Structure 1
């Protein structure tokens, strides 16, 4: 996995119909949309993908559809679960249908370094040699993993082939990780990409975020990789108002789905219950933000 982790691994949404059923057809159009706009790979069944609202059977169906339509491009699957047995079962099934690897965050309730180390020891005993992304997202999980703890996990478990770093301040933690890790492990970053330029300056391999304009995420990464730092910042700045508006946890996912619907990527902006609903006032805010993004892009291309 490690050698193939570079570029945008877009955090994919799970499309639903207006009545809350899975919309597998929209997975096809959404997959096409992501790759058209520069994604190198997909990350499915993440927090923003509403994984917790799916049954095991639905989760496997979603992964199978994404893998089939990705045409060989890598699909990483979130399998995080406080139950190692359930995590191992889902891991086995998604790998069977063609996943590239899995992503595992620590479950809520782990209080000490030894708790974290013991949990991941149990995980890898249960899943074996499956390539794994270690997700460090304390504001979602409630578990803070120190740099020394992450380094010990990297030392103990060669299955960890990448890190998704979402602690704050992310750039500072990336620098500390690079200084102490015993082997090179690609680092991807999330938080909807709001700190992407600073994280790229610290040497990450790419974003693992789900912004509704993925061409910004892939474009900024490409420009930075080519040494065009000012151009990368300029491109990022065009989208910043909408990016920050969309970076509002599960409510922000509702905004993202609304924009994706407007862009023709999915048929419905519905989130499965329980989930937020946008008000007419919210939609007016989105109208203005999207309009301003499109106007800024038009001026840049003129």
Structure 2
């Protein structure tokens, strides 16, 4: 997969991408834990990483911390491609940040609609086109209306597909008809961003997933996507069905609290989050630990 800013080769965002959590210890980023997590996941067959997505608590990180997290992941990723998340609602500041990120080696940017202000569809077209114009690397649209308050219409996404740097969608839109239309159109790679919809999206022709659940049972998630890519539906379903209860529990409380709790139980990091995010409850953690252990014995 490409690591340079060149658009001469078509980028490939297929497979399982992990939107990395940001480990904390004593209020600061735990770079040792982040590095170890990245190395472990790289060895488990993931396609690449997303740094500073919503799972990474990016809203609670300042720009210096975000760049430091990116550098740690780049050093540990063993050459795998890295997408950087960004968000905001001030277009000038956002495009300036895009230009600053251009100094770093990235496979792409993951860009949601501007939050809070709820622009029209015409305003959304302006937002994404301006960011894509400013970016030297491919852009993935992060369609997640329940976080931004802005719904991207099917026609808007299809219009954005005309831009040469807009190459894919992280699909959390909750509209399977829109998902199917994007897959059928074929210009944008569609990656499931709702973990419980991974199987359905990829079975219908989606490219892959950006899945927080993939921090755990990673090789099983990778195998599901590999089997689907090979059209081995029955075998993929057999691998997928045991994961469904785990996914449900990992999102029973606000992400990334549950996945951090499970990773912390395994000793790879603290379960610490930045306020106002809170740790998973002990009851949920215990259920996750028992379910994960059962899956590991299968």
Q: TM-score, normalised by structure 2?
A: 0.89
Paired residue for 1:169?
175
How far 1:124 moved relative to its partner? 3.1
The reply on whether 1:106 has 2:113 as its aligned counterpart is: yes
Flag the 1:32–1:105 CA change in 2: closer, same or farther, 3 A. Answer: same
Larger helix fraction of residues: 1
- The runs of at least 4 aligned residues of structure 1 exceeding 4 Å deviation read none
Do the aligned partners of 2:265 and 2:289 also contact (CA within 8 Å) in 1? Answer: no
Specify the alignment match of 1:124 in structure 2: 132
- 1:236 is matched with 240
CA distance in 1, matches of 2:296, 2:73: 30
For residue 288 of structure 1, report the CA deviation from its aligned partner. 3.0
Q: Tell me which residue corresponds to 1:195.
A: 197
Q: 1:144 to 1:173 in 2, by over 3 A?
A: same
Q: CA RMSD in A?
A: 1.9
User: In the superposition, relative to structure 1, how do residues 10 and 169 fare at CA in structure 2: closer, same or farther (>3 Å)?
Assistant: same
Question: Quick one: distance in 1 between partners of 2:103 and 2:55?
Answer: 24
Are 1:158 and 2:164 matched, yes or no? yes
Q: CA offset at residue 248 of structure 1? A: 4.2
Q: Which runs of 5+ in 2 are unaligned?
A: 3-9
How many residue pairs were aligned?
Answer: 287
Residues 33 and 111 of structure 1, relative CA distance in 2, 3 Å threshold? same
In structure 1, stretches of 5+ residues that fail to align are: none
Task: Work out whether 1:283 is the aligned partner of 2:246.
Answer: no
Cα distance, 1:12 vs structure 2: 0.6
Q: 1:283 offset after TM fit, Å?
A: 2.0
Distance 1:144 1:82, change over 3 A: same
- The answer to whether the 8 A contact 2:118-2:148 is kept is no
Q: Which residue of 2 is the match for residue 205 of structure 1?
A: 207
My pick for the range that moved more, 283-292 or 159-168, is 283-292
Distance 1:66 1:296 in 2: 28
Separation of aligned partners in 1, 2:110 and 2:104: 16
Give me the TM-score of the superposition, normalised by structure 1: 0.88
The 3-state SS of whatever aligns with 2:178 is: helix
Query: What residue in structure 2 maps to residue 43 of structure 1?
Result: 50
Verify: 1:85 aligned to 2:85, yes or no: no
2:6 matched to which residue of 1?
Answer: none
Counterpart selection for 1:9 from 5, 17, 42: 17
Task: Name the SS for the 2:170 alignment partner.
Answer: strand
